[in-house]
Amino acid sequence: MSRIAFAIASLSAIGVASLALGGCVIVHDSNDHPVVTHPDHEDAVDIDVSVGELKTDPGSGVSIIVEYAGNGRWNADMTCDTEKSGYACSFDVYARASGIRVIDDRDLESGDYVEEYGEQLHAAFTTDIDTDGFSFDTPLGEAVELEVYLDGDNAHPFVFWIGDGAQHNGAPTNPTLFIPPVGQ
């Protein structure tokens, strides 16, 4: 059973209905750059300033951890459940915002990359028993639209973040708009 099938099987009927609403189409422009079109509907969520508050054990579970460090700095880190499943995870992460730019990447292997296309970043990672990630900046207060895929399927159930003082497990839509605190 695939990771997504397992996740869907364990979600409530409401969760399954929300998965059916997500999705996008990935095409390539004349320069073979990925261009993503997505549904008209996306939910917006608040994200608090936090760094290192969410912890995970690389290799023991699938996670896409999104953090807003403040002052326009964002972090995204991915882990896989390789120790349980025996398989690596292939992630595609799209981040969109006005003025977005890549700052750095963490623990990438051969074939992993983060690319910048105007106001969009595309990160593609194959992760197993480590944590792959990247940081990016936006202008202060700029919201970020995040769209995530695991092995080609919607991965928003695996997105974790701190917002409104609480940990959130699973983004409501794919994509989801993350709104940072005003003035931070």
Of residues 36 and 173, more confidently modeled: 173
SS3 64: strand
Cα-Cα-Cα-Cα dihedral sign, residues 170, 160, 182, 137: negative
Q: What is the pTM of this model?
A: 0.78
Of residues 91 and 6, more confidently modeled: 91
Look at the block and give the residue holding tokens 């095409």: 27
User: Which of these ranges, 40-44, 50-54, 93-97, has the smallest mean pLDDT?
Assistant: 40-44
How high is the pLDDT of residue 31?
52
Neighbour-count burial for 121-155, b at 16+ CB within 10 Å, e otherwise: bbbbbbbbebbbbbbbbbeeeebbbbbbbbbebbb
- Residue of 45, 6, 40, 13 whose CA lies nearest to 158: 6
Question: Could you give the domains of the chain?
Answer: 3-179 (2.60.40)
Burial of 27 (0-12, 13-18, 19+ CB in 10 A): exposed
* Residue 132 · residue 78 · CB < 8 Å: yes
Question: 112-125, pLDDT tens digit by residue?
Answer: 999 999 999 999 99
Average pLDDT in the 10-21 region?
A: 31
